[in-house]
Structure 1
Amino acid sequence: MGNNLKSTHKKFKKNSKNTLYQGLDTKKKAKSSQKLSCLEELSNRLNLPADILAGAPIITATGRNEICLENYKGIIEYNGDLIKVQTKACKICIEGKHLNILYFTEDEMRITGFIQAIYYQ
């Protein structure tokens, strides 16, 4: 008795490739630019701005005489013409005249004086 049974797997796979594997693209990987970071995904789900979750510094200027700086780590330099603050991402420098730190807490400070420039290092 001869073995007349042949596997039809290869033939089935070839014939059904267009329908079975239609939703899968095995040749291309997803582009990293299209993927969302964990923080972006979480902020989208919680309807929160991503900068709050990431601890990004938030600078709120009221005219040229007052700044509220949130999410800072420490004060590096402080005098009447320059205030340099360390954040998670960078250093923030505030230049001006008669600068004064009105108050500061663990994560927020209010700076007054004549503010001429705010820049990141």
Structure 2
Amino acid sequence: MKKWRGQLKQWVVNYFNLPEDVLLDLPRITTIGQIHAYIENHHGLVTFSENEILLRMKQGYVRVIGDHFVLKTMLQEEIIVEGKIREVQYLEDS
């Protein structure tokens, strides 16, 4: 049933030319230079430190590595972080 539902969602995205993150619950990460990251569709903050942020996603994790991170805003599915961003990694569940 889940496979069928996933295929239907993919078909709707393609047919109506919608952004995939809307129906497929994919993360959307917008960065402004190396100083600002806006992350949507996360499923919870796992780790936050001055040098690392780890967010749970529907499938796996997103890790942001950098320096002097400040958590500006955190909502249920959105987070805004400022600092020097050096790297964004997508990690699979282990």
Q: Give the TM-score range, shorter chain.
A: 0.7 to 0.9
Of 57, 73, 78 in structure 2, the residue corresponding to residue 108 of structure 1 is 78
2:33 alignment partner, one of 59, 63, 71: 63
Q: TM-score, normalised by structure 2?
A: 0.84
Q: Which residue of 1 aligns with 2:67?
A: 97
Structure 2 gaps of 5+ residues are: 1-5
More strand as a share of residues? 2
After TM superposition, list the pairs within 5 Å mapping 1:2-21 onto structure 2: none
Residues of 2 paired with 1:60 and 1:96: CA distance?
Answer: 16
In structure 1, how many angstroms separate the alpha carbons of the residues matched to 2:64 and 2:79?
13
User: For the residues of structure 2 that align with 1:82 and 1:105, how far apart are their CA atoms?
Assistant: 19
CA positional deviation for 1:76: 0.5
**Which stretches of structure 1, 4 residues or longer, exceed 6 Å deviation after superposition?**
none
How far apart are 1:51 and its partner, in Å? 2.3
CA distance in 2, matches of 1:116, 1:46: 36
Aligned to 1:80: 50
In structure 2, give the amino acid aligned to 1:74.
Answer: G
Q: Which has the higher contact order (CA 8 A, sep 6+)?
A: 2
Larger gyration radius, structure 1 or structure 2: 1
How many residue pairs get matched?
86
Structure 1 unaligned regions, length at least 5: 1-35
